[in-house]
């Protein structure tokens, strides 16, 4: 089979890597890809937003299955477009992807389906939102309802900050139309957990747990990023937590989407806060997480193509997901300045040395080839992932590999997965 992966980050490199190991895969294409995917796939320089060119590519190269990495093309209806052309594609339709693309819709659906989540109010007018926040004496979270590349959520312990955030979104239109509607919700306390599930409308298959590190700084300080590292499994994801997420979140939301005329097919990512009152939903994403995919897919033992095919064909119930009895840790090496302004074009050294270490996978996030050199080409540059016998072993291997990688102004957190070690110590105590 010929397969096409849409996207160009670490998540897509991990998907390309998984597919390239499948016995049934003949050729892998990646659009637009990066310097890492170029080693396993044929990169094609098409923007993820150019649906017409992607359809043409899929026809010309006789692609049997297309896998969409990022949310923007999903929310813009790439799956509907491919299906209308008779092309097989992995991911939800635009109607189902609205669960990520429109946080106000997601909130209403959760409320309707009694899915546990933060109490929230939805506003379309700045004056109303401001008046509401002014009555609050506790902090709130302000969220732009539309897609804002992970930057549209502001946690405001002080209500005065919330008014500033509202002004930036609704008056200054910092995120364009994405901030025209806002969700204002209560601040939840607890540890965060990412749960991914494959869904083929009828069957829900929950993947192993993973935990992300969203903040740029050590000890979870500073602004949020796309994710600075991840580990799997997460010790806080106990069987009780998993049972509650499946029963109280996944089953009712999948039913609610179906009743709403938007049956879900693809991978659904649930961002949760494990509060004293049980798991509560922070957000839904209509795609794989980045960097959660890097740790999940390196642990997956089942042929990735078999799984994705089964989802697309609605036979997920016939698939058995097997996992390596290993832990995985991923450390993202970023350009200094990210998630704000940063410089690109820095030569990266040590990639081969790192990738040659046992059980280490160097997934490229923002890189490109310039003649014989690999240079930085994004905020997140590489996602160094290692398997180990347990989290501590995987963490050591990942950091040893990270030390091999050098470029000007490289930045990474030195505490990725420390949290997992702390919770396992607590669990044993």
How does 284-302 read in b/e, with b if 16+ C-beta sit within 10 Å?
Answer: bbbbbbbbbbbbbbbbbee
The answer to whether 421 contacts ligand AMP (rule: CB under 6 A) is no
Contact segment (CB under 6 A) with ligand AMP among 22-30, 63-71, 79-87, 187-195 equals: 187-195
Shortest Å, Cβ 334 to ligand AMP: 17
> Which member of 3, 282, 329, 405 binds ligand AMP (CB under 6 A)?
282
Q: How far apart are CA 336 and CA 410, in angstroms?
A: 6
Rounded distance between C-alpha atoms, residue 412 and residue 188, angstroms: 27
How many other CB atoms are found less than 10 A from the CB of residue 32? 17
The alpha carbon of residue 220 and the mean position of all alpha carbons in its chain are separated, in whole angstroms, by 18
Q: Which is nearer to ligand GLY, 280 or 380 (CB)?
A: 380
Task: By CB under 6 A, name the one of 77, 271, 278, 350 that touches ligand AMP.
Answer: 271
Contact between 192 and ligand AMP by CB under 6 A: the answer reads yes
Stretch near ligand AMP under the rule CB under 6 A, chosen from 44-52, 181-189, 199-207, 359-367: 181-189
- Closer residue to ligand GLY (CB): 9 or 179: 9
CA–CA separation, 29 and 27 (whole Å)? 7
Q: Which is closer to ligand GLY, CB of 263 or CB of 289?
A: 289
Segment interacting with ligand AMP, rule: CB under 6 A, options 9-17, 23-31, 182-190, 199-207: 182-190
Burial class (CB in 10 A: 0-12, 13-18, 19+), 329: buried
- For ligand AMP, the binding residue among 127, 187, 347, 427 (CB under 6 A) is 187
The reply on whether position 102 binds ligand AMP by CB under 6 A is: no
Asked if 155 is part of the footprint of ligand AMP (rule: CB under 6 A), the reply reads yes
Summarize as ranges the residues that interact with ligand GLY (CB under 6 A): 212, 226-227, 285, 289-290, 292
Which of ligand AMP, ligand GLY, none binds 227 (CB below 5-8 Å, type-dependent)? Answer: ligand GLY
Report if residue 96 touches ligand AMP, rule: CB under 6 A: no
C-alpha–C-alpha distance, residues 381 and 9, integer Å: 9
Q: How far is the CB of 365 from ligand GLY (least distance, A)?
A: 12
Q: What one-character-per-residue DSSP string does 326-390 give? A: -EEEEEEEEETTTTS-----PBPB-HHHHHTSTTEEEEESSEEEETTEEEE-SSEEEEEEEEESS
Do the Cβ atoms of 412 and 402 come closer than 8 Å? Answer: yes
């Amino acid at each position: 089979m010929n397969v096409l992966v849409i996207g160009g980050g670490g998540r897509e490199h991990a998907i390309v890597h998984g597919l390239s190991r499948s016995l049934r895969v003949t050729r892998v294409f990646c659009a637009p890809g990066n310097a890492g995917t170029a080693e396993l796939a044929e990169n094609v320089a098409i923007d993820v937003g150019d649906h017409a060119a992607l359809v043409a590519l899929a026809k010309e190269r006789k692609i049997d299955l297309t896998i969409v990495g990022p949310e923007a093309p999903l929310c813009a209806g790439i799956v509907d477009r491919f299906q209308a052309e008779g092309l097989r594609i992995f991911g939800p339709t635009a109607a189902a992807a609205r669960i990520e693309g429109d946080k106000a819709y997601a909130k209403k659906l959760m409320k309707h389906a009694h899915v546990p989540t933060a109490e929230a109010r939805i506003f379309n007018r700045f004056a109303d939102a401001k008046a509401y926040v002014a009555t609050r004496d506790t902090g709130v979270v302000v969220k732009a309802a539309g897609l804002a590349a992970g930057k549209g959520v502001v946690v405001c312990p002080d209500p005065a900050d919330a008014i500033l955030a509202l002004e930036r979104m609704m008056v200054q239109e910092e995120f364009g139309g994405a901030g025209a509607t806002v969700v204002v919700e209560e601040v939840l306390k607890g540890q965060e957990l990412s749960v991914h599930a494959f869904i083929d409308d009828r069957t829900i298959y929950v993947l192993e747990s993973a935990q992300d590190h969203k903040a740029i700084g050590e000890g979870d300080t500073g602004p949020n990023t796309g994710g600075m590292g991840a580990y799997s499994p997460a010790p806080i994801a106990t069987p009780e937590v998993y049972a509650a997420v499946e029963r109280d979140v996944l089953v009712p939301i999948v039913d609610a989407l179906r009743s709403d005329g938007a049956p879900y097919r693809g991978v659904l990512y649930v961002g949760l806060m494990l509060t004293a009152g049980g798991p509560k939903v922070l957000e839904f994403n209509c795609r794989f997480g980045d960097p959660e995919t890097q740790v999940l897919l390196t642990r997956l033992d089942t042929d990735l193509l078999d799984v994705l095919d089964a989802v697309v064909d609605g036979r997920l119930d016939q698939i058995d997901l097997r996992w390596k009895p290993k832990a995985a840790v991923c450390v993202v090496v970023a350009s200094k300045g990210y998630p704000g302004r940063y410089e690109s074009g820095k030569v990266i050294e040590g990639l081969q040395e790192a990738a040659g270490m046992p059980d280490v996978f160097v997934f490229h996030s923002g890189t490109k080839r310039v003649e014989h050199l690999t240079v930085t080409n994004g905020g997140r540059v590489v996602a160094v992932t290692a398997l180990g016998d347990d989290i501590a072993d995987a963490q050591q291997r990942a950091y040893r590999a990270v030390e091999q990688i050098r470029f000007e102004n490289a930045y990474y957190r030195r505490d990725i997965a420390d949290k997992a070690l702390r919770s396992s110590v607590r669990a044993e105590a």
